[in-house]
Amino acid sequence: MTTSSLRRWQGIAIGIYVGFLGSILFWPSLPLPTWPGSTVAWNMYASVHGVCAQVHNITVAGEQLPLCARNTGIYGAMTLSLLTMIALGRFRVNQLPTRWSMLLLATPVGIMAVDGFNSMFVDLGWQPLYQPQNWLRTLTGAFAGIAVAPFFVALFNNILRTNAVSARTVRHLGEILLLWAIAGAYAALVIIAPAWAYWPISVISWVGLIGILLFSNIFAVAVAMGYDQKISHVTELAKPMVVASIITAIELGGMAWLRFGFESNGWM
């Protein structure tokens, strides 16, 4: 791709993201009577209504978060895990953690699954192993979500980068403990829920949910377009980003529209 063509696609991508952000900030929606006064919070909630259960909801200072308890934990911690990889200088590495490290990181995912099934038993009217709690949904979600970036970053760089660094995303036990400490601190913030934390928690978790869907689509589109081991900088993915952004917007908008429609007709 020529430099001028790349810049054109980069400009289109920036325009799409600015438009999407503008719609979240300024779309004149009407919140539900029980919703916080800010239409931004409602727009965030509505944009992921088709991909987030939004059933076991939690509040901060009396205001409902855009995501439900478990997803607030998962996707908020997922965002923080990616920021941690960047801070540790691992954004370009292409090797997975060791098997023991992967086992340690994956163990909370299994614990979250157990808690998820237990919660589902209650929803189905069955006898649960224990009484589900939103704080436990958030905690198990955060410890599961914090493990995502070390796997995703390695996969992304191994397949798409031509200048990937041959190193592991997580190198030793101390870094696993660091990730767990971040997950625990984030979950504690959500559970304690001081009033000032409403927007940080909302944005971090919402960005994580939107981001994982968008990046998954970018990855799939880039592979389909033949970008395998051809990029040296993420900005070179401008064209796949544009296509993936349109796909993501259609997915989010379409599924939210369907769910709102089902709910308005009493089908959900």
pLDDT for res 33? 47
CA distance 162 to 146: 27
Joined tokens for residue 128: 């649960």
pLDDT confidence band for 201 (50 / 70 / 90) = very high
Please state the domain extents for the chain.
Answer: 3-264
Angle of helix 173-192 relative to helix 198-224, nearest 10 degrees? 130
Pairing of strands 59-60, 63-64: antiparallel
Phi, psi of 166 (to 5 degrees): -80, 90
Q: Quick check: 34 pLDDT over 80?
A: no
What is the arithmetic mean of pLDDT over 2-17? Answer: 89
Residue with tokens 């029980």: 34
Joined tokens for residue 253: 């908008």
Radius of gyration of the chain (CA): 20
What would the pLDDT profile of 37-59 be if each residue is shown by its tens digit?
578 888 999 999 999 989 899 99
What would the pLDDT profile of 68-107 be if each residue is shown by its tens digit?
999 999 999 999 999 999 999 999 999 999 999 999 999 9
Please name which of 3, 4, 20, 2 lies closest in space to residue 244, comparing C-alpha atoms.
20
15 by Cβ neighbours in 10 Å (0-12 / 13-18 / 19+) ranks as: exposed
CA distance 39 to 25: 8
Indicate if the alpha-carbon torsion angle 68, 70, 73, 74 is positive or negative: negative
Q: Note whether 219 and 160 are within 8 A (CB).
A: yes
Joined tokens for residue 21: 């952000």
pLDDT for res 100? 95
CA distance 171 to 89: 12
Instruction: Please state, rounded to an integer, the average pLDDT across all residues of the chain.
Output: 92
Q: Quick check: 36 pLDDT over 50?
A: yes
Pairing of strands 165-168, 93-95: parallel
2 by Cβ neighbours in 10 Å (0-12 / 13-18 / 19+) ranks as: exposed
pLDDT for res 4? 84
Q: Tell me how long the chain is.
A: 268
Joined tokens for residue 134: 């939103």
pLDDT confidence band for 145 (50 / 70 / 90) = very high
pLDDT for res 106? 94
CA distance 257 to 11: 29
CA distance 107 to 233: 33
